[in-house]
Structure 1
């Protein structure tokens, strides 16, 4: 196993953001993390693509930096003099080249606190910001930068994973030479951290990167496992999602060094790490893993489909007893894609394109989420969504999640509000009635899902567009529809932005990987 050594890094003078208040924020690929302020309050920070940031105390009101940071690259809040600070990454991708011609492509960052990071002055502890920079759909790189406060600016440390390289001199949409000698691979091979150049990484006599096998190096996301080990997931489409363990002292990958297979037959690549999902250019990106002490599971979220409003973007869920997998869905299937397979067969689909009857605008392409479990043990699903209004405008939404009886976190049907509560003490007669339901299905659908209507009868029967049985206990609800069993939570929720309408709702996950939401029609 090999580990790249960190260079000497000194912290830049630290910032305190000047912010303006907003009711909504537009952050693509939002990653959430939290800190405690001087009064002991938990403050949540969002970081997203194109150097977007925001913070909040309650997920209801947001503070946003006063200046649009993507238009301020010469003195950026996060990266200072961005072109200079991230110059090593930009030699490969992300600045004034191919798809980033005339500007920058800095995407999908994730920030984590690391007690063990060692600065060049001997001090310890850093916020580590991992980011991706990209010039084509395959030539990308993941780097990281560090700061002593979460608001930065962040000092560049290293570029740690490259993609889109070739064995020989070649190009892919610009004059950049994609020879692997222009990445960190040559040094890693020379110092024997990695056992040579793999023939699996390239095709066509070494002139083209093999995207059926190897990942696109974007969308890094970090987490600690139950033993305190630090991990990074990453990848988008191409060869799938991979995971690497990191050395907490310097934030560098512990590259496997040798190729191999996991006990369940998944790829271990000498450079890219262990494969978790995907392959053969099936959609899948924005991977995010969170560990829950109560269930002792690691939960993997991956987004399928295309990110545009009509691209079919949707979030999928898997879980594992180990950080390195295997991750399985509700049907017990692994999301490793073989040639010719379709990814729609794998993963609990949490949310598709939907609109309840009372909503003026529907929601499309919800995805690239992060998840946080707060200091009280409450779960929040944070994602960006587009809308059914003919535009590509996107905004952040936050939904609570609740653990069902089978150990799956189910997202509430409506966005989080502070008057939301589990309906623990209701009688059959209070729950019974007509419900508009959304069955999110399992496809990567690009059209709006049509809602249906069912009636929950007091005698435990379900009639209407679906038929079956239902039962409840202390806020948990179970729907049995044919051979499929859906388990979830009954909630009393605010169902509009004004706070004037509340309703009894339910959210369930089925053993067939489908999610069904319900909204009572009073």
Structure 2
């Protein structure tokens, strides 16, 4: 009887110990609040396909395909100024003034344009028109005293394919399709233009500051990468004074919702060549196999990918981006912050698109990573580990060019540096610069407290990159 009594006395203790252990295993990590407080932004998004930005007189302006045009004072609230060639006010009579260019390109619209303010204070618009199913294209320049126009045509500066009067010497597998221009100054003030799409690849030309046109005798200029019709376009150059690198942004894949469009980056100490990715692979080696068209397998392992198709799980639905791409990248003249802006489609919404602005950061190794959340005035600070713990959704992207999105999984960042849940591993933090060792891969990146438009709350984000150039997005789940 005494033995049984002792068992009865022991059972409550055992139950209590098991309960304590269970509670410990279910313990939620509670983060210390950050100093910056963000509130729900009053967002008004623009719809400019292939946006290219210029900052002047306290405003931001973006121009894109079809003469779409928009402006903003804060990168959050945008005013749509035109939606098509028919309603543009950038020219007094765009079809009359640029009618011959449209005729030669066998089209009734324009593709991705670019505006750059040169040293004379005037604004130079680089417009392009393309037949679409072939590289029958023209690229020209127009000039205006104001960024909003009216622009006056200065003539066509490049032609490709059937737009050349005698195109017998044009080779579409080696020569560029003369579209998607980006004109920029290098760190020494020299003017350049990078351009091209599919066909023979991406090229760069040295430009004359006095005329806004290429110096004579260069032909199409210097090839940077591509050829044999691989799907690479939308070249955009960004110089970072702190890292002393030129970053060449490109869109891989097709722009439609099922095209797997995604953004990639290479870097070089010089603007006109020597670009490599985070694996050390040379961009100039990128080329499709002879006789092939749209050979994605030949290109998809190149480049540091910064964003592609991905979804978070929110209230039982998939939210995120579909075919984000054709970006503009810039450093804000007032704040010094870096940004990337691109158009994107959305899960379940077909070909509908809008623009999004995301803040860009650079890792300790000098590679760019993209805040997973759209910009809302957030400023990165030196976060402590106690401000970063909690339950997260994690999206790990690979480098395949596919319409399938990378989907989120859940995990927990604990104070002891453990990563637990559907993804396991370890994490470290040093003043907001983080390392995630998960899935047998190591990602380096940044934490930044941001406004999450899906959770409608401020929360912590992480963006990282691994040595293979694959991005990792994380967002902390908000407790209600």
Q: Does 1:150 align with 2:147?
A: yes
Aligned to 2:469: 513
Check conservation: 2:324, 2:344, Cα contact below 8 A. Answer: yes
Aligned to 1:3: none
Aligned to 1:43: 59
Q: 1:397 aligns with which of 336, 351, 356?
A: 356
Q: Deviations over 1:336-389 (max 9, x none)?
A: 324436110111111111121127533101000001201221011110000111
Segments of 5+ residues of structure 1 without an aligned counterpart are 1-20, 37-41, 117-124, 166-175, 181-201, 258-269
* Secondary structure at the counterpart of residue 493 of structure 1: strand
Q: Does 1:79 align with 2:91?
A: yes
- Structure 1 residues 251 and 430: alpha-carbon distance in aligned structure 2, compared to 1, 3 A threshold: closer
Q: Deviations over 1:212-259 (max 9, x none)?
A: 21111100001100110000010001111100010000011124x3xx
* Secondary structure at the counterpart of residue 85 of structure 2: helix
Aligned to 1:281: 229
Q: Does 1:489 align with 2:480?
A: no
* Secondary structure at the counterpart of residue 71 of structure 1: helix
Instruction: State the alpha-carbon separation in 1 of the partners of residues 59 and 422 from structure 2.
Output: 44
Check conservation: 1:241, 1:275, Cα contact below 8 A. Answer: yes
Aligned to 2:130: 134
* Secondary structure at the counterpart of residue 50 of structure 1: helix
Check conservation: 2:45, 2:78, Cα contact below 8 A. Answer: yes
Q: Which moved more, 1:337-346 or 1:270-279?
A: 337-346
Aligned to 2:49: 28
Q: Deviations over 1:23-57 (max 9, x none)?
A: 12211001111002xxxxx2100111111111101
Q: Does 1:422 align with 2:438?
A: no
Q: Does 1:108 align with 2:112?
A: yes
Check conservation: 2:102, 2:109, Cα contact below 8 A. Answer: no
* Secondary structure at the counterpart of residue 239 of structure 1: coil
Instruction: State the alpha-carbon separation in 2 of the partners of residues 276 and 323 from structure 1.
Output: 10
Instruction: State the alpha-carbon separation in 1 of the partners of residues 64 and 211 from structure 2.
Output: 23
| Total equivalences in the alignment | 425
Q: Deviations over 1:175-228 (max 9, x none)?
A: x88524xxxxxxxxxxxxxxxxxxxxx6xxx5xx42221111100001100110
What's the C-alpha RMSD, in Å, of the aligned pairs? Answer: 2.1
Q: 1:354 aligns with which of 304, 310, 318?
A: 310
Q: 1:458 aligns with which of 395, 410, 415?
A: 415
Check conservation: 2:288, 2:299, Cα contact below 8 A. Answer: no
Check conservation: 1:352, 1:445, Cα contact below 8 A. Answer: no
Check conservation: 2:202, 2:224, Cα contact below 8 A. Answer: yes
Q: 1:252 aligns with which of 193, 210, 213?
A: 213
Aligned to 2:330: 372
Instruction: State the alpha-carbon separation in 1 of the partners of residues 165 and 43 from structure 2.
Output: 43
Aligned to 2:158: 161
* Secondary structure at the counterpart of residue 101 of structure 2: helix
1:91 to partner: Cα distance: 4.4
- Structure 1 residues 500 and 325: alpha-carbon distance in aligned structure 2, compared to 1, 3 A threshold: same
> Normalising by structure 1, what TM-score?
0.77
Check conservation: 1:370, 1:382, Cα contact below 8 A. Answer: yes
- Structure 1 residues 483 and 230: alpha-carbon distance in aligned structure 2, compared to 1, 3 A threshold: farther
Instruction: State the alpha-carbon separation in 2 of the partners of residues 334 and 156 from structure 1.
Output: 38
- Structure 1 residues 476 and 223: alpha-carbon distance in aligned structure 2, compared to 1, 3 A threshold: same
Aligned to 2:39: none
Larger radius of gyration: 2
Check conservation: 2:423, 2:439, Cα contact below 8 A. Answer: no
Q: Does 1:179 align with 2:140?
A: no
Instruction: State the alpha-carbon separation in 1 of the partners of residues 440 and 187 from structure 2.
Output: 36
Aligned to 2:388: 431
1:68 to partner: Cα distance: 4.5
Instruction: State the alpha-carbon separation in 2 of the partners of residues 84 and 299 from structure 1.
Output: 38
> Normalising by structure 2, what TM-score?
0.84
Segments of 5+ residues of structure 2 without an aligned counterpart are 1-41, 290-296
Check conservation: 1:22, 1:64, Cα contact below 8 A. Answer: no
Check conservation: 1:105, 1:135, Cα contact below 8 A. Answer: no
1:390 to partner: Cα distance: 4.0
Q: Does 1:90 align with 2:102?
A: yes
1:325 to partner: Cα distance: 1.8
